[in-house]
Amino acid sequence: MEQWSQGKKVEVDQPVYKSPIVRVVDFLFDILQQVALGGAFFVVFYIYIAQPNMIRGSSMLPTFKDKEYILTDKITYKLRSPVRGEVVILQSPTNADIDFIKRVIGLPGDTISISDGKVYLNGKQLMEPYISVYTPIIPEGYLKDGDNILIPQRSYFVLGDNRPGSSDSREYGLVPSEHIIGRVVFRYFPIARAGFITTPVFADN
């Protein structure tokens, strides 16, 4: 439609009528766009930044209990190496579809041994305030009582906090760095135990 204003022709936009069906389609399309954007963000977040995990089993008692929910940071280890005492999520050495939760004990260059239920690191007993039980040797496992293992580069020795009830480096050996998925940083369920996960400080850290 055209109108005249002070001798000049002015274009005047007319409202476009949309039928109820068209309005519903537009509304649904907007929703689908938001869902697609949200889904894309979630995928990027899950693959590259962090992922939620649910604890299954008792291998990390008393630190983590069965069916607790945690958040795993997947960025930190792209910037630095794991630190002793950190709790990590790693691929099972026998099934890539299964993830384990363990604590980093031995770093590249360390010598580690277990003798009489105690962990020795570079010849000295490792004091571990997060465990309440001894550390037995697993029969037919990777590590024998009193053996000294030198950890090569890009490999780590991991243990569960519930030593009698954990399958870990005593059984299946050292963990390659590429099998470590990320660092456990937060427990968000149950609410009563929610909070950030702290790393114990050792004398050599």
Any catalytic annotation for residue 102?
Answer: yes
* Residues 134 and 200 sit within 8 Å (Cβ to Cβ): no
DSSP state of 127: P
Write down the catalytic residue from 18, 58, 59, 113: 59
β strands within 17-127, DSSP E? 50-54, 69-73, 87-91, 99-106, 111-115, 118-121, 124-125
Q: Which residues contact 92 (CB under 8 A, 6 or more apart)?
A: 98, 99, 100
Distance from the Cα of residue 124 to its chain's centroid: 30
Any catalytic annotation for residue 78?
Answer: no
Write down the catalytic residue from 18, 81, 102, 177: 102
**Which sequence positions are flagged as catalytic?**
59, 102
